[in-house]
């Protein structure tokens, strides 16, 4: 199948960042909730997660998910979205260009920076390097204890243990250890 067709059917995530005028945070948040309601009614919209500023920052981030790139494109070019973009001007501005992601990028972030994520093939390879030893360990040491369980709960044990380990421990560690390889152009490595 054509790679462009496959990519068009994959879920897509876009990250937006706004710099909010000091003292206008409440207006921005009201605007954000209105924009979110408008987007939620749009075909293919799969939700948004808002991240409020930390510390002295005035940057709000929105992680917006769509069913596929076509749905995203329809939203991006819609008059509804344009109307909401005009409304934010008095109290917020786009802080940097949007970033379209695959979902793995949160495992490969660099705190305090806005660098683009590594190439997808690099993220896939590091993920395999992280998952394989745990799959081997699980299969060799623990899987036998669950063999008599029904298929669904037996199969659920591995991802329930692995996902938090990857998210909170293994992937942050690997992304730090492999930083020079993952981000050679961005970090002067």
pLDDT, the chain, mean? 81
Residue 141 has pLDDT above 60, yes or no: yes
With b meaning 16 or more CB within 10 Å and e meaning fewer, what string describes 132-146?
eeeeeeeeeeeeeee
Judged by DSSP in three states, 13 sits in: strand
CB 90 within 8 A of CB 146: no
The predicted pLDDT at position 4 comes to 44
Please state the pTM of the whole predicted model.
0.50
Task: Grade residue 90 by pLDDT with cuts at 50, 70 and 90.
Answer: very high
The mean pLDDT value for 157-164 works out to 89
Nearest to residue 44, comparing CAs of 73, 12, 68? 68
Tally of CB atoms within 10 A around 39 = 21
Those residues with Cβ within 8 angstroms of residue 156's Cβ, 6 or more apart along the chain or in another chain: none
């Amino acid at each position: 199948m054509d790679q462009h067709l496959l990519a068009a059917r994959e879920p897509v995530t876009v990250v937006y960042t706004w710099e909010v005028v000091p003292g206008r945070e409440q207006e921005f948040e009201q605007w954000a909730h209105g924009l979110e309601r408008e987007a939620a009614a749009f075909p293919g919209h799969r939700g948004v997660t808002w991240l409020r500023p930390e510390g002295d920052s005035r940057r709000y981030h929105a992680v917006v998910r769509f069913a596929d790139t076509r749905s995203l494109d329809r939203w991006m070019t819609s008059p509804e979205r344009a109307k909401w973009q005009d409304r934010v001007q008095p109290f917020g501005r786009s802080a940097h260009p949007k970033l379209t992601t695959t979902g793995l990028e949160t495992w490969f972030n660099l705190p305090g920076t806005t660098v683009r994520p590594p190439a997808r093939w690099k993220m896939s390879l590091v993920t395999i390097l992280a998952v394989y030893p745990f799959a081997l360990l699980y299969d060799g040491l623990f899987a036998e204890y669950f063999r008599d369980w029904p298929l669904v709960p037996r199969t659920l044990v591995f991802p329930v243990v692995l996902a938090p380990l990857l998210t909170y421990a293994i992937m942050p560690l690997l992304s730090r250890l492999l930083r020079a390889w993952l981000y050679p152009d961005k970090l002067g490595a």
